[in-house]
Amino acid sequence: MAYDKFTILRSTAVPLPIENVDTDQIIPARFLKATERVGFGDNLFRDWRYNPDNTPKADFVLNNPVYSGKILVGGKNFGSGSSREHAAWAIYDYGFRCVVSSFFADIFKNNCLNIGVLPVQVSPEFADKIFTAIHSDPKAELEINLPEQTITLLPTGEQEKFDISSYKKENMMNGFDDIDYLQNIKGEIEEFASELPF
Amino acid sequence: MTKTLFDKVWDKHVVRKIEGGPDVLFIDRHLIHEVTSPVAFLGLKSRGIKVLYPERTFATADHNTPTINQHLPVADPLSANQLKALESNSNEYGISHWGLGHQKNGIVHVVGPEHGITQPGATIVCGDSHTSTHGAFGAIAFGIGTSEVEMVLASQCIMQPKPKKMRINVTGKLSKGVTPKDVALYIISQLTTSGATGYFVEYAGEVFEKMSMEGRMTVCNLSIEMGARGGMIAPDETTFNYVKGREFSPKGEAWDKAMEYYKTLKSDADAVFDKELTFDGSAIEPMITYGTNPGMGIGISHEIPNAEEVEGGVATYNKSLGYMGFHEGESMLGKKIDYVFVGSCTNGRIEDFRAFASIVKGKKKADHVTAWLVPGSHIVEAQIKEEGLLDIFTEAGFTLRQPGCSACLAMNDDKIPAGKYSVSTSNRNFEGRQGPGSRTLLASPLVAAAAAVTGVVTDPRELIEDEGILSSVINKVKDLF
């Protein structure tokens, strides 16, 4: 599915300094029943965000009007558990384009890259600096520069480089996905398949 | 150059390497279910692409299905709609579909091996993280997202960088009452829930060599719970005997040829791993989890650790114990439980029900416990009946439900109510995993059985070794409530 190109993103950020945020929290299983990719943002962090009677939980960060922005900053091991791509969809549909963490779970990270959410892995020290900066000033902005592969804490100018494969980087910058690539090498795949034992 | 088992299977399936990018990996077998496939099919339709090799994809309905009255129409319209989408998409593209009521229906990771779809040395993917189960056969198997499901349907390939390699050796002999589930929960408790992220694991050593295929599947299934992409075990006679003669297994000359390949599937003696760990199997005891991720597990006789003894932040740890209603330093033994769930792709196979029966035989379910016994497939269900296990269950006050993922992820009506405790043989104890507000204690079928008959967390070894202790435990519990 096509997504918006990603180059440079400058935004405030929403802090979620909890470790091991699993994809069941990002979107609980009972909200995976759609057959189309619509409306997942409404149920992002459903059970942390809403009481059983659907009233918002005042102490959850997404319900705190002080915090907003296109960047979500999570604790270590963000996105563990289920492979549900719905978790990445919910994050995108809610309005985030980038998730920052000191450590990502594998499948979640892949899913993000495939749908246009940029996962930015920073050092634990830099993650702490971001959390501190946002807590002292929720209007503190971050700049994510994909071409340069840098993340900058704008109030202080502190910066870190982040990793992304050159292939995925080009995809994100152009809004391409892997199917486009695979369709172009179909002949090569068919030839390969004909020689396999299975 | 020497190679690991993982290298051998991965390298054989690389169609193309992309400079500064992922490998294009050919997928032999693709399993789909109703939850993570509909959007992939929509993608194909909007691009006007056909399924390249429909005979390499197999569909089964499991995540959403009811586990009682499966002959009736599915009541929840959203679930019914997803099941219908799986069926119509499968029909439209010529994919085998084992829907609700089909004799081959069951949990995707139970039916794949049962029918020989899972084979040594193959690459297998599914839009489900527990696809790692199939690694028990020496296959490379892992969970993928829906975008990748679409890729496999369109091209039979996915694009991923090759992960690092880890070998986990478990030596020695397991003690009485210690099952494959305990081995896996022990390893995860040692590595933490993210300790194997970025790695593909090979399990090796005496403990796995002696394990049945069912046990190996339980261990490989849980690989993802320590963050690993997958886990695998080198195929041996146990594997070949299991695979031979099944519907989709190679036959005749093809089998002989396949065996030549299967026999090459082991790590070279001097193969190098990025990380290697060794544990003493005899030191493992029955395990139980006390927190909200599968890494938060302890030996059943141990106490809940203090925050400073565990890796990670104190705030996260306290949030977790607060959710569970537990405190540092408490013993898990004797804690009252409300539900028992036996089933899932982790522990929903025949051996798991045999283990459960071995403890509940001749005893009675505790009155206050609700127990859901959910076979992994119709084949498992039939075996339970044939082997007389159902009679044992009925006698002890248990009923058997119909196959499906059920309360493992509570997408259907099998939800543990808020605040209630469930001893579950499934794979995740995340907040709300088994229903909003539910509290899950992950454990083996033996631990689940001991809890089901006593109504509290109980060391199953006591029930195996001495009948006398059981009655004393039950009497003690009766005094409590």
What angle in degrees, to the nearest 10, is found between the helix axes of B146-155 and B38-47?
A: 50
Nearest-CB residue to A33 (from B13, B18, B82): B82
Residue of B nearest to A104 (CA): B197
- CB contact under 8 Å between B436 and A20, yes or no, is no
Q: What's the CA gap between A53 and B399, in Å, rounded? A: 33
Give φ, ψ of A17 to 5 degrees: -80, 50
Q: What's the CA gap between B90 and B149, in Å, rounded? A: 14
Determine which of B17-21, B100-104, B213-217 has the lowest per-residue pLDDT on average.
Answer: B17-21
With a CB cutoff of 8 Å and minimum separation 6, the contacts of A59 are: none
pLDDT of residue B468: 45
Tokens of B310: 């565990």
Are A24 and B431 within 8 A, CB to CB?
Answer: yes
- CB contact under 8 Å between B409 and A193, yes or no, is no
| ipTM reported for the complex, 2 dp | 0.96
pLDDT tens sequence across B317-369: 999 999 999 999 999 999 999 999 999 999 999 999 999 999 999 999 999 99
pLDDT of residue B1: 86
The answer, as to whether pTM is greater than 0.90, is yes
Of B207, B215, B213, B216, the residue nearest B246 (C-alpha): B213
Residues pairing with A22 in the sheet: A80
Nearest-CB residue to B35 (from A19, A32, A183): A32
Nearest-CB residue to A106 (from B78, B147, B197): B197
Report which residue type is found at B368: H
Mean pLDDT of the A25-44 span: 95
CATH number of the domain located at residue range(s) B5-277 in this protein: 3.30.499.10
Mean pLDDT of the B20-45 span: 97
Counted residue by residue, chain B has a size of: 481
Would the pLDDT of B467 be above 80? no
Cβ within 8 Å of A, B 408-427? 409-411, 418
pLDDT tens sequence across A115-163: 999 999 999 999 999 999 999 999 999 999 999 999 999 999 999 999 9
Would the pLDDT of B474 be above 70? no
- The reply to whether B189 touches chain A by the CB within 8 Å rule is no
Question: Do the domains at B5-277 and B286-480 have one common CATH topology?
Answer: yes
Mutate to test the interface with A, among B81, B197, B428 (most CBs of A within 10 A): B197
Cβ within 8 Å of A, B 215-274? 224, 227, 229, 257-258, 261
Q: Would you list the domain boundaries of chain B?
A: 5-277, 286-480
Q: What percent of chain B has pLDDT over 70?
A: 96
- CB contact under 8 Å between B197 and A77, yes or no, is yes
pLDDT of residue B54: 98
* The CATH number of domain B286-480, selected from 1.10.420.10, 1.10.287.130, 3.40.50.360, 3.30.499.10: 3.30.499.10
- CB contact under 8 Å between A18 and B319, yes or no, is yes
Tokens of B140: 């490379």
Would the pLDDT of A195 be above 80? yes
- The reply to whether B146 touches chain A by the CB within 8 Å rule is yes
Residue B161: list chain A partners with CB under 8 A.
165
CA distance B77 to chain A (A): 10
pLDDT of residue B464: 87
Write out the H or E segment, with its range, that includes residue A11: strand A8-16
Q: What's the CA gap between B356 and B359, in Å, rounded? A: 6
Domains of chain A: 8-194 (3.20.19.10)
pLDDT of residue B343: 98
In 10 A of CB B260, how many CB atoms? 9
Residue of A nearest to B407 (CA): A29
| Residue B20's pLDDT band (cuts 50, 70, 90) | confident
Mean pLDDT of the B273-296 span: 98
Pairing of strands B23-26, B96-98: unpaired
- CB contact under 8 Å between A36 and B16, yes or no, is no
- CB contact under 8 Å between B36 and A81, yes or no, is no
With a CB cutoff of 8 Å and minimum separation 6, the contacts of B459 are: B177, B286, B300, B301, B333, B450
CA distance A9 to chain B (A): 23
From residue B144, give the alpha-carbon distance in Å to each of A85, B24, B31, B238, B481: 8, 14, 11, 28, 46
Q: What's the CA gap between B473 and B480, in Å, rounded? A: 11
pLDDT tens sequence across B136-174: 999 999 999 999 999 999 999 999 999 999 999 999 999
| Residue B311's pLDDT band (cuts 50, 70, 90) | confident
pLDDT of residue A135: 96
pLDDT tens sequence across B422-440: 999 999 999 999 999 999 9
Average pLDDT, chain B: 96
Q: What's the CA gap between A140 and B231, in Å, rounded? A: 42
SS (H, E, C) B60-116: ECCCCCCCCCCCCCCCCHHHHHHHHHHHHHHHHHCCEEECCCCCCCECHHHHHHHCC
| Residue B481's pLDDT band (cuts 50, 70, 90) | very low
- The reply to whether B459 touches chain A by the CB within 8 Å rule is no
pLDDT tens sequence across A14-27: 999 999 999 999 99
Would the pLDDT of A172 be above 70? yes
- The reply to whether B430 touches chain A by the CB within 8 Å rule is yes
Residues pairing with B231 in the sheet: B201
Are B451 and B372 within 8 A, CB to CB?
Answer: no
Q: What percent of chain A has pLDDT over 70?
A: 98
Q: What's the CA gap between B403 and B101, in Å, rounded? A: 10
Would the pLDDT of A182 be above 70? yes
From residue B388, give the alpha-carbon distance in Å to each of B268, B383, B391, B447: 44, 8, 5, 21
DSSP structure string for B220-289: HHGGGGGT-SEEE----HHHHHHHTT-TTS--HHHHHHHHHHHTT-S--TT---SEEEEEEGGG---EEE
Mean pLDDT of the A45-57 span: 97
Q: Tally C-beta pairs within 8 A across A and B.
A: 200
Mean pLDDT of the B74-103 span: 97
pLDDT of residue B470: 47
Residue A111: list chain B partners with CB under 8 A.
145-147
Give φ, ψ of B50 to 5 degrees: -95, 165
Counted residue by residue, chain A has a size of: 198
Would the pLDDT of B478 be above 80? no
Of B117, B275, B254, the residue nearest B198 (C-alpha): B275
